[in-house]
Structure 1
Amino acid sequence: MTYDNTCKYLAEKYPADFVRWLLAIETTEVQVLKTELILEPIRADSVTFLQTASSILHIEFETRPYSEPPISLRMLDYYVRLKRVYDCAIDQVVIYLKETTSDLVFVSEYTDRNTRHSYRVVRLWEQEPAPFLTNPALLPFATLTRSDSPQTLLQQVATQVARIESVAERQNILSCADVLAGLRFDENLIRRLFRREFMRESVTYQAILREGREEGEKQEALSLILRLLARRIGVVEAQQQERIQTLTLPQLEELAEALLDFSDPADLTAWFDRQNQ
């Protein structure tokens, strides 16, 4: 999962928790709205719309403050579109995930000659970790909150994840925490504290293997492996792609498991070397 998709998954999986966090409203009746709006479509990868009985909560997750068009203009654009479609109160929050010194993360309004539009900004690295550590829905975000000892914080997150009773929920929350922690921590540290066997039992990982088996065709498995490798290590060289295409379906399944530990192209080369031993 990418950072954007991870944040969207959490907000749409636990909408009441996000409404409680950002609006201080206790409700269990929250509807996740579609992100396609009227007029020309605009990029909505990191956007979530949650509708309560009285308002809409628009959440925008950002890893960096730079965008084209600017985030402030996008927030105005979304506001107008939502207002036209739903005609209700709208609360907008931009959540910055990765710490930066850019002044843009302090911008909370769009201003023009005849227009001013404001919204709320949350910089996760300024937030106290306690509220995030006590709520499984927000626990992955705790990895990015304020701490004098980030490594200790990461250990606290791992401990809290281990206390989640539901196995399925525990694996999925761990998967999300693993992704978001990558914005701040060294991957080797993450792997040490977030036990990889938990990741391998997650619904996300199992779906990857199930997809390949259900398709039943080697070509589908090849396509899946190449997509996953591109996400983990970047573009796969043509020579490496040719080697992958010679693998059997069981070998491709082994590679699908192994690539979860890859961080650069050298890991793929080392995996092939081990296969030849």
Structure 2
Amino acid sequence: TLLQTPNQILQWEFQTLPASKPSLPLRMLKYWVRLKEKYDCPIEQVVIFLKSTRSEKVYTNQLVDTNTSHRYRVIRLWEQDPEQFLANPALLPFATLAFSESPTRLLEQVAAAVDRIEEPLAFTNISACTQLLAGLRFHQRLITELFPEEVMQESVIYQKIIQKGHKLGLLEGKLEGRQEEGYSIVRRLITRRFGSVSDQLLEGIQKLSVAQLEELSEALLDFETVTDIAVWLASHQQ
């Protein structure tokens, strides 16, 4: 989520778990460089971890490598005081994931706060978002007991998810064709830039996903030799 003001950019990165490829610290550095190049203003980066985990990666807030150092802020929701979220209707969905010695009691408090929202559209959408995030922590049965199911179905958030589900069935059928098309485009770019390359390298590229092929097609603009392709490929096949 990117919020731009006249003098600053605030980037929020939401993560359920710390798994990331490339690593989250490297991603945050890449985002910072791109934003700095485009807007040339102060940039504040915040990573918000939603789901409780014991992984040491959620305590990492910087990238340090040779002569490069980049820091960003990390918020672990399960360590946060829920009162700051309960006080603001727009933040109620995050309250479900905040610290509590009695999580069930906390969810009951959130449900009661949502029920007090008078504006109909805000009520349905905040209720839907609250249920979605609560699903990261609570059993569906408990959520259904505290939140009316029909409210969820009326929400534009819920409807958008349903629409995506319908589209997914269509997209899966097209995915294979997109992968073949992406591979063909990347291969033509490589041939035009570097001439012929080894079959082994092409086989590795052919195994990439559509998203990886798109990423490689952009990265090729910065590559100077075939070795750069091999190095990139090795880093994306681990």
TM-score by length of 1: 0.58
Change (3 A) 1:55 1:196: same
Residue identity in the other structure for 1:195: P
SS of residue in 1 equivalent to 2:107: helix
Residue identity in the other structure for 1:59: W
Runs of 4+ deviating beyond 3 Å: 204-209
1:80 aligns with 2:22: no
1:183 aligns with 2:141: no
Q: Is the 8 A contact 2:128 2:158 kept in 1?
A: no
Residue identity in the other structure for 1:203: V
Match of 2:61 in 1: 108
Residue identity in the other structure for 1:89: P
SS of residue in 2 equivalent to 1:122: strand
Match of 2:83 in 1: 130
Change (3 A) 1:199 1:100: same
1:163 aligns with 2:163: no
SS of residue in 2 equivalent to 1:199: helix
Match of 2:73 in 1: 120
Q: Is the 8 A contact 2:82 2:99 kept in 1?
A: yes
Distance 1:161 1:118 in 2: 36
Deviation at 1:64, TM superposition (A): 0.7
Deviation at 1:91, TM superposition (A): 0.2
SS of residue in 1 equivalent to 2:96: helix
SS of residue in 1 equivalent to 2:89: coil
Residue identity in the other structure for 1:70: S
Q: Is the 8 A contact 2:16 2:51 kept in 1?
A: yes
Question: Identity across aligned pairs (percent)?
Answer: 55
Change (3 A) 1:197 1:72: same
Change (3 A) 1:96 1:205: closer
* Residue among 138, 148, 156 paired with 1:203: 156
* Residue among 9, 20, 23 paired with 1:56: 9
1:224 aligns with 2:166: yes
Change (3 A) 1:205 1:185: closer
SS of residue in 1 equivalent to 2:88: coil
Deviation at 1:206, TM superposition (A): 5.7
Distance 2:23 2:168 in 1: 33
1:71 aligns with 2:13: no
Change (3 A) 1:226 1:56: closer
Match of 2:52 in 1: 99
Deviation at 1:165, TM superposition (A): 1.0
Distance 1:58 1:168 in 2: 27
Pair member with larger Rg:
2
Distance 1:189 1:183 in 2: 12
Distance 1:110 1:121 in 2: 13
Change (3 A) 1:93 1:200: same
Deviation at 1:200, TM superposition (A): 2.5
- Structure 2: gaps of 5 or more residues: 173-238
TM-score by length of 2: 0.67
CA RMSD of aligned residues (A): 2.1
Deviation at 1:205, TM superposition (A): 4.6
Alignment: residue pair count: 169
Distance 1:95 1:188 in 2: 27
Deviation at 1:123, TM superposition (A): 0.2
Q: Which has the higher helix share?
A: 2
